[in-house]
Structures are given as C-alpha cells and as structure tokens.
Amino acid sequence: MADKRDYYEVLGINKGASEDEIKKAYRKSAKKYHPDLHPGDKVAEEKFKEINEAYEVLSDAEKRARYDQFGHAGVDPNFGGGGGSPFGQDMDIGDIFNSFFGGFGGFGGNRRANPNAPRRGNDVETQVVISFEEAAKGCKKTISYNNINVCEDCHGTGAQKGTQAKTCTACSGTGRVTVSQRSPFGVVQTQRACDACRGKGKIIDTPCRTCNGNGRVRKPRKIDITIPAGVSDEQILNVSGQGNDGINGGPAGDLHVFIKIKAHDVFERRGDDVWCDMPITVAQAMLGAEVVVPTLDGKVKYQIHEGTQPGDVFKLKGKGIPHLNGRGRGDQYVRMNIEIPRNLTSKQKKSVSEFDNALTDKNYAKQRSFHEKLKRMFGD
C-alpha cells in the first residue's frame, strides 16, 4: 500500500472538502479518464480505477473517517495478512475506529450493535458513456466496475475451508469488554473493543488464505443494465442489490450508474426537445423549397415557405426525445441558417448585381423599416 497515492490528491481536493465537492471532483475526473473515451488506453483505465477507489472511500463518512485516522490501512478490505499491519494480522480497523468514537460509557458504548449482526453492504458508483441516439431510444449496456464480494472460499466466515471461527470467551461474542478505571470521581467503567478478538466477537485460528481472514475480497464485476429511453446527461440510475456484498449475511448495497451522453454532430438537446441548425441556399429561402430534414427517426421532407428569413424556426411535433415516463415525446425545432455563397465567378457576380438592381425597397421589409427609423432620428 506504500505506492498508493493519497485519495484526496487523486480527486484533486483538499482534506476538508464537502460531500458536494467530493462528488463534483469525482464526476469531473471520472469523465476525463472513462475507458469508453479512451479505448485501449491502459493508463486511463488505471487512473479511472484509482479515481473510483478514492471516491468509494471519501464518499462514505465512516470510511473517510477511518482513512483520515489511519490512512490506506484503515479502508483496505484485504489489509492485515502478510502486509505488515501495525495492528496485527486479524485487526479490524473499523473496530479501532469505534473504540475511539463509540466506546465511552454512557454515550453509546453499551448500545453498540452486535458485531456479528447482518449489515448492508455499501453502495458503489460508476459511469457509462452512451450516444445521443442511445439516450433517446434506450439501450442495453454491459457495466464493468470493482466490487467487494463475499469470499467464495470461506463464504464470508474468514476461516480457512474446513475450519470455523470460535466465539470469543473473553467478551462472550459481544466484541466489547468493560474496563474499570480510577478517577478523581471514583471508579469509572468504560467499554472498548475486546483485545482478544479485536472487537469481532469471534476468533479465527486459521484465517482463510484467499481473503486473509476478512471474509470479503475486492473483485471486478460485469453486469448488463437497461438504460431507459429519454435518460438525461448526468442522470443517476440505481441498480438495486448490485453494490458491495453485505456483512454477516446482510443485503448487498446498490449500484449508482452516472449517465454521460456524448455530444451529437447535428442535434442539440433542450429538455426533451431536439434542436438543429439547417443550412439552406439564398434561392431556397427566397422562393421556398422542399428540404430534407434529419430527425431521430430518420429523414423527413418539409416545405419551407417563400421569404424564409435567417433564424426562422419551424417545429416538427413529436420528433423529439421520448419522455422518461413513457408518455409522449418532445418536439424537434429546426432553425434556418441561410448560407451566403462564396467564391463567385465574374459571370455569377454580374448576375447577382443585375438581380439586386431589379429589387426595390418593397422586397426588403426589415431594411425599409430600419431606414425609416434612421430618418426619424437624423432627418433626410
């Protein structure tokens, strides 16, 4: 663990960062190094894993407190076996933390939960990058992320296969012992983690070699998820029961999937409406024309009216993004962008000049109105 970078450094935040600052930093970094944006880039892949590992710890209040107190040793589920733990091979850093902050008599020490009671696993977060069309129409994706799972060899007991953990006789399986101390006010009784079992309530004589007696291991996981039509950028999808496995038979946490939608070459999304700019010629704008308009459902024909002006917008009803509730769709708005021709030949310039000379103020309503305003301002 000596080669691991500081988690705050990984996310580029200060140690006193708020929850919102941590989440924003994670999203920014995860987007930058997401494997979908860097296919085949092993460096980006490793950075993405490092970012997720840092966020998993710093987004959890209890894990963050352990990390601030003990560093990486306080949060690594595989820490303790053969790795030089300063607290002993079977030490549970969570119990050390609780002995400091939850073991003072009269302030919750006697109400500490059974260390062997089932506990829900932590939630996990990851990100998936999808295309504009996939967001609009929905899709299926295979999600890869790291998860903490019950050890398959010991089934979460922490004991080597063929052996089993024993109830600690020092604390009768409670994980806590009462200590009497003299003070100026008399004898004071406090509770702390049991030294014999390190607060676990059980003693493992032969730890599982796969998980080093922790009962859980970190492993990569892949699952298939369905992304509904109409999902928005940075929306979070919750996949129930696909987070970290629970402890002592407790339920698994959830998986939170952050949606990142790639920008489109033609379309822009505004709510559930779709916008696009469409270039047309000067002649098409003046005379009107039938044009082919791209939509999410394919090409459609549309008749633009005579005298179309730059920036005019027409609507294609029901051609936008499906509403996430499955009822109806947004609309598509098409903005006219009249392209002025360039690189004219001498003959073309002459034709344009003759055409322009044939026009009068009646052909230019906006120009005529502007000139009338100037006359009112400055006179003839």
Burial class (CB in 10 A: 0-12, 13-18, 19+), 225: middle
Amino acid occupying residue 65: A
Strand order in the sheet with 236-239: 124-130, 255-261, 236-239
pLDDT at site 145: 93
The confidence band for 184, taking pLDDT boundaries of 50, 70 and 90, is low
205/113: higher pLDDT: 205
The confidence band for 60, taking pLDDT boundaries of 50, 70 and 90, is confident
The confidence band for 343, taking pLDDT boundaries of 50, 70 and 90, is very high
pLDDT at 20 > cutoff 90: no
pLDDT at site 187: 74
pLDDT at site 7: 92
The confidence band for 173, taking pLDDT boundaries of 50, 70 and 90, is confident
Task: Tell me the pLDDT tens digit for each residue of 346-361.
Answer: 999 999 999 999 998 8
pLDDT at site 380: 67
Task: Tell me the pLDDT tens digit for each residue of 91-133.
Answer: 344 444 443 444 433 334 444 567 778 889 999 999 999 999 9
The confidence band for 225, taking pLDDT boundaries of 50, 70 and 90, is very high
287/174: higher pLDDT: 287
171/91: higher pLDDT: 171
Instruction: Give the C-alpha separation, 37 to 130, whole Å.
Output: 10
Mean pLDDT value across residues 285-296? 96
β-strand 313-316 against 332-338: which pairing, if any? antiparallel
Max alpha carbon distance in the chain (Å)?
111
Task: Find where tokens 């024909």 sit.
Answer: 301
pLDDT at site 3: 67
Instruction: Give the C-alpha separation, 64 to 181, whole Å.
Output: 31
State the chain's mean pLDDT as an integer: 84
Mean pLDDT value across residues 4-15? 89
pLDDT at 89 > cutoff 60: no
The dihedrals phi and psi of 367, each to the nearest 5 degrees, come to -65, -40
Max mean pLDDT range (80-89, 353-362, 364-373): 353-362
List helix spans (H) across the chain: 7-11, 19-33, 42-58, 61-70, 93-101, 132-137, 282-287, 346-357, 365-378
pLDDT at site 83: 38
Instruction: Give the C-alpha separation, 193 to 103, whole Å.
Output: 8
Token readout for 327 is 């009822």
pLDDT at site 291: 96
What percentage of the chain has pLDDT greater than the value 90? 44
Task: Find where tokens 């390190």 sit.
Answer: 198
pLDDT at 50 > cutoff 60: yes
The dihedrals phi and psi of 294, each to the nearest 5 degrees, come to -75, 140
Which pTM does this prediction carry?
Answer: 0.63
Instruction: Give the C-alpha separation, 32 to 48, whole Å.
Output: 9
Residue 93 near residue 63, CB atoms below 8 Å: no
Mean pLDDT value across residues 8-29? 88
pLDDT at 209 > cutoff 60: yes
pLDDT at site 288: 96
pLDDT at 28 > cutoff 80: yes
